[in-house]
Amino acid sequence: LVCSMGNSTSRLYSALAKTLSSSAVTQHQDCLEQPDLAQLDPIDPKDLLEECQIVLQKRPPRFQRNFVDLKKNAASNHRPIRVMQWNILAQALGEGKDNFVQCPIEALKWEERKCLILEEILAYKPDILCLQEVDHYFDTFEPLLSRLGYQCTFFPKPWSPCLDVEQNNGPDGCALFFLKDRFELINSANIRLTAMKLKTNQVAIAQTLKCNETGRLFCIAVTHLKARTGWERFRSAQGCDLLQNLKSITQGAKIPLIVCGDFNAEPTEEVYKEFSNSSLNLNSAYKLLSPDGQSEPPYTTWKIRPSGECRHTLDYIWYSQHALNVNSALGLLTEEQIGPNRLPSFNYPSDHLSLVCDFSFNQDPDRLL
């Protein structure tokens, strides 16, 4: 049910509508650098969700996904920390380069696809949000999410492929958002990944946060590694560089760590093994959904391109298993829900599935080190 719009909601809709088109923004690039977000009123997430649903009223309803309880009778003395990982599909790439042959071009219209992305975020209410392929950061995600109470950070790729597309909205990159009422930023690092001693086009953001409720420190990182077959050694080198950076930031695993990313790597790849065997004692949260707790999901992305159908597991949420517990994880879409034309679609805005986990701090983290 969508409520009728009162005055306050009408003002909100006006603010949302301004983000639907980037034409005004691209004409005034100087305004992008330091928007005066402090002057913007807070948004009630329920109001924003209603506005998104008004825009989406001709589209099919959002898919139902359920959280799977993974607690092993582990008591927690604090509210869980919900972390969301998602490659949202850069608009310029979706419309201009990726060539999803079974996806109607109308399904990729930014005016509506943006609202599908926001609807997914608002539905799961993450405390921390890690996104890849963000090319509408300044005109959409920063202005809206900052008004929802998030602190926002963006690090673009140095040579984004979005810039090759006509009428692009600027470079894509990684973005990290956390709720300011739950966490305090202790330090932040923008990392340009290297491979074979060369700086690459891939990036990461790593931030050390203090949980206001518990006083505990932890590090959250987001990354997006090099895509495509044939680049396995390159991804492995990038993964090694990221791990070295994270070892320094976490003081050799003294500070708990969560790493979200589109690694563009199946679990058989070397970079996956590097993270599994790292001295940081990381585990992949979505393995816990499998019956034996040892197998990754069968897919996190599923699309059809001219070369054929691609179904892969590429997206992960890694965590310090000695210091953190996974309380629950959001189940993935079924093949039936995804449908024969795969992703993206009128139902779902990206070719990658969102991953969402609830974490709690282990009461005795040193015991398992």
What is the rounded distance in angstroms from the CA atom of residue 260 to the CA atom of residue 251? 19
Instruction: Report residue 363's pLDDT band, with 50, 70 and 90 as the boundaries.
Output: confident
Residue 341 pLDDT > 90, yes or no? yes
In the DSSP assignment, the letter for residue 31 is G
What residue spans of 56-96 are helical by DSSP H? 91-96
Instruction: Return d(Cα 354, Cα 77) in angstroms, integer.
Output: 27
Lowest pLDDT segment from 69-83, 127-141, 297-311, 338-352: 69-83
**Beta-ladder partners of 246:** none
Pairwise pLDDT comparison (6 vs 311), residue with the higher score: 311
pLDDT at 91: 96
pLDDT tens across 126-152, in order? 999 999 999 999 999 999 999 999 999
Cβ-based neighbour number of residue 109 at 10 Å:
13
pLDDT in tens, 25-72: 343 333 334 455 556 789 999 999 999 999 999 999 999 999 999 987
Which distant-in-sequence residues (6+ apart) come within 8 Å of 104 by Cβ?
Answer: 346
**Regarding predicted confidence, which is higher, 150 or 76?**
150
Average pLDDT over residues 157-183: 96
What is the average pLDDT value for the chain, to the nearest integer? Answer: 90
Q: How far apart are the first and last CA of the chain?
A: 50
Dihedral sign, CA of 161, 163, 166, 172? positive
Quote the pLDDT of residue 17: 61
Q: Give me the pLDDT at residue 141, please.
A: 98
What percentage of the chain carries pLDDT values higher than 70? 87
From residue 343, give the alpha-carbon distance in Å to each of 104, 311, 369.
11, 10, 41
Domains of the chain plus CATH, in order, are 80-364 (3.60.10.10)
CA angle 45, 46, 52 (to 5 degrees): 90
Residue 302 exposed, middle or buried by CB count within 10 Å (0-12, 13-18, 19+) = buried
Residue 24 has pLDDT above 90, yes or no: no
Token readout for 252 is 């050799």
How is residue 116 written in tokens? 């599908």
Predicted pLDDT at 159:
95
**How much is the pLDDT for 99?**
86
Given this model, what pLDDT does residue 366 score?
53
List, for residues 224-275, the tens digit of each pLDDT value: 999 999 999 999 999 999 999 999 999 999 999 999 999 999 999 999 999 9
Determine the average pLDDT of the residues in 190-214: 97
pLDDT bucket at 74, cuts 50 / 70 / 90: low
pLDDT score at 77: 81
